[in-house]
Structure 1
Amino acid sequence: MALGTLYYYPNSPRSSWLLPLAKYLQLEIQAKSPTEAIEFPSLFMLKKAPAFISENGFKLTEMVAIALYFVQISGKKEFAGVTDEEKASQVKWLSFLNSDFLSSAYSVHTANSDEEKLKFLEKVKLNLAFVDEQLSRTKFLGGDSPLVSDMYAYKMLASMKAFGLPVENPANVERFYEAFKQHPLGELMDSK
């Protein structure tokens, strides 16, 4: 029996990675597109996805909350960190990637002028430099082994490449991307 239903947009970097996460965590999740599920608007008044409803009616919105909930109900709680510092770091990276990082990358595509586009590209480069600085000290964002934030970071970087964002990754970010791509988690993320 499915744990619940995840409403998500298959092409959205914010929500499409949640299914591979659930698969890695060995959670049985039903997945639906909110545009095709007639029950979605009545279940979630803000009509935002990703959104999750469990079989017992527990509702959860917001990507970070859903990802961390999936980890907590799985048998792999350590995937969100073991120490208090690792757990806080995972929330930090998930929040940063989901807000500052994603919004600056998206803003490049929605810029109204070349000047505005250049301003957002500089913000993207600064955000990448911030990630690169962390990766100059650790193999993955959380340390020597990939954790939940690394899955999302990989998805964000893959989306930037797919959308042709005209920014080169700094050396440590590119090393991370290639290492994660070769890792079983990267292979899981890339499988359709």
Structure 2
Amino acid sequence: MSIGKLYDAPSCRVTPLKALVKHFKLDVDIVQRDAEFGKLFPLKKVPAFVAADGTPIHEFIAISYYLLSQIPNNPLAPKTKEDEAEVLQWVSFGNQEVLGAAWDTFGPLTGRAPYNKKSVDAASEQLDKLIALTYEPHLTKNTYLVGEKVTYADVANVALLSRGFEYLFDDAWKKKYPATTRWWLTVSKNAVFTGFDFPVTSERIQYTPPKKEETKKETKKEAAPKAANAEDAPAPKKAAHPLAALGPAKEPIDNWKRVYSNEDTREKAIPWFWEHYDPEDYSLWKVKYKYDDELTLTFMSTNLIGGFVNRLSASTKFMFGTAVVYGTNNDNGIIGAFMIRGQDHVAAFDVAPDWESYDFTKLDPSKPEDKEFVDNMWAWDKPVVTASGESKEIVDGAVLK
């Protein structure tokens, strides 16, 4: 009999819980968020777990200890009450202090949160300070966080630090904190994490600001001839966009953009779109933000998609799309529809450094539900119906045209 179900999500707080379930073969169903999720967990935050008797359990540490209690002869358990207190201490510290500083650093740098250089720099300094004052001196003298074997303190903290090693901790950082690096690399390869991939960066991710459209035309100036040298050599031509190789479409995308901008969306623009849409020249895609559980205030989510759309400017000639924010503060999501020249979404989207923060699903306009989705994304005049069946009003959005 199942001991409960764990709601899945791309969160480093969920990773160690899934690792426990899979490694120790716990009879737990790992499920996607559904209509019941919203009823049982009104804050709609993960991790979230429902015990066999229907008891909803939220908060990372509470779910961790419930799952640990279900493991017979748990090898991750500490030996003494004092060690148990230390495990709880490290898990709490990693969950609250370290992950908070890490998120405030990598979130804006990866485009998942609004960027403010001063705030990001402060968070980055705080993260390094926390590691310098805790993990590094402790792990210089000790192999693991608690005792002489791997405990849940190590498992949890490796997962909570995983975004740091994925995005922030470059080679220079690893040399500065060798004990922390040694411990993390060792435990991340422990059998409990079999089947889980922890990327490790060699270069710290850098913030890529949105490209600004030039508003002033260059003026031609006559200049005296200069001596031929390397500095006077003409600049190399900019590489052509991959989608340019497809050549012109039968119906230029600019025609649609003009109609969308100047006509009533439901009454005229959408009928025009379907009359002229050619599935051989173009493809339609649903674009869904992967990390809705990390979104907070709606205006911040709006800033997030505004930045994403701006960073797609290099592909503007080959695509059109809208992305919207739906829901309320601390309970919102991001979704959109995009039309792309050709059938390859990667070539259009990978110009934006944060494109991998989104899921892409190709749409089939011959299906009524896909066609209706596109209509609603173009018009913004109907609520978004989530995967769990909830209807949420559109708050704001951005248009790429």
TM-score band, normalised by the shorter chain?
0.7 to 0.9
CA RMSD in angstroms comes to 2.0
Change (3 A) 1:166 1:137: closer
Q: How far does residue 78 in structure 1 lie from its aligned partner after superposition?
A: 5.1
Q: How far does residue 26 in structure 1 lie from its aligned partner after superposition?
A: 2.8
* Bigger mean CA offset, 72-81 vs 15-24: 72-81
- Give, as a single letter, the amino acid of the residue that structure 2 aligns with 1:3: I
The residue matched to 2:141 in structure 1 has which SS?
coil
The residue matched to 1:107 in structure 2 has which SS?
helix
Please name the residue that 1:33 is paired with: 32
Please name the residue that 1:51 is paired with: 48
Please name the residue that 2:156 is paired with: 152
Larger relative contact order, structure 1 or 2 (CA cutoff 8 Å, min sep 6): 1
Change (3 A) 1:82 1:155: same
Superposed CA offset, 1:70-102 (max 9, x none)? 111221345231201111011111111111000
- Give, as a single letter, the amino acid of the residue that structure 1 aligns with 2:25: Q
Please name the residue that 2:98 is paired with: 101
Q: How far does residue 166 in structure 1 lie from its aligned partner after superposition?
A: 4.9
The residue matched to 1:79 in structure 2 has which SS?
coil
Q: What TM-score, normalized to structure 2? A: 0.44
Q: How far does residue 20 in structure 1 lie from its aligned partner after superposition?
A: 0.9
Supply the distance in 1 between the matched residues of 2:169 and 2:149 (Cα, whole angstroms): 29
Q: How far does residue 58 in structure 1 lie from its aligned partner after superposition?
A: 2.3
Gaps of 5+ in 1: none
**1:13–1:155 contact (8 Å) kept in structure 2:** yes
Q: How far does residue 23 in structure 1 lie from its aligned partner after superposition?
A: 2.2
**Where does 1:133-148 land on structure 2 (aligned, <5 Å)?**
133-148=137-152
**1:25–1:76 contact (8 Å) kept in structure 2:** no
Matched, 1:118 2:145: no
Matched, 1:71 2:75: no
**1:181–1:187 contact (8 Å) kept in structure 2:** no
Q: For the pair shown, which has the larger CA radius of gyration, 1 or 2?
A: 2
Q: How far does residue 188 in structure 1 lie from its aligned partner after superposition?
A: 4.9
Q: Which has the higher strand share?
A: 2
Supply the distance in 1 between the matched residues of 2:158 and 2:6 (Cα, whole angstroms): 21
Please name the residue that 1:5 is paired with: 5
Please name the residue that 1:184 is paired with: 191
Supply the distance in 1 between the matched residues of 2:169 and 2:145 (Cα, whole angstroms): 23
Number of residue pairs aligned between Structure 1 and Structure 2: 187
Give aligned-pair identity as a percent: 24
The residue matched to 1:18 in structure 2 has which SS?
helix
Change (3 A) 1:141 1:17: same
Please name the residue that 1:90 is paired with: 87
* Bigger mean CA offset, 178-187 vs 80-89: 178-187
Supply the distance in 2 between the matched residues of 1:182 and 1:43 (Cα, whole angstroms): 35
Superposed CA offset, 1:133-186 (max 9, x none)? 221121111122111121122112332222x12562411011102221343234
Gaps of 5+ in 2: 109-113, 199-401
Q: What TM-score, normalized to structure 1? A: 0.88
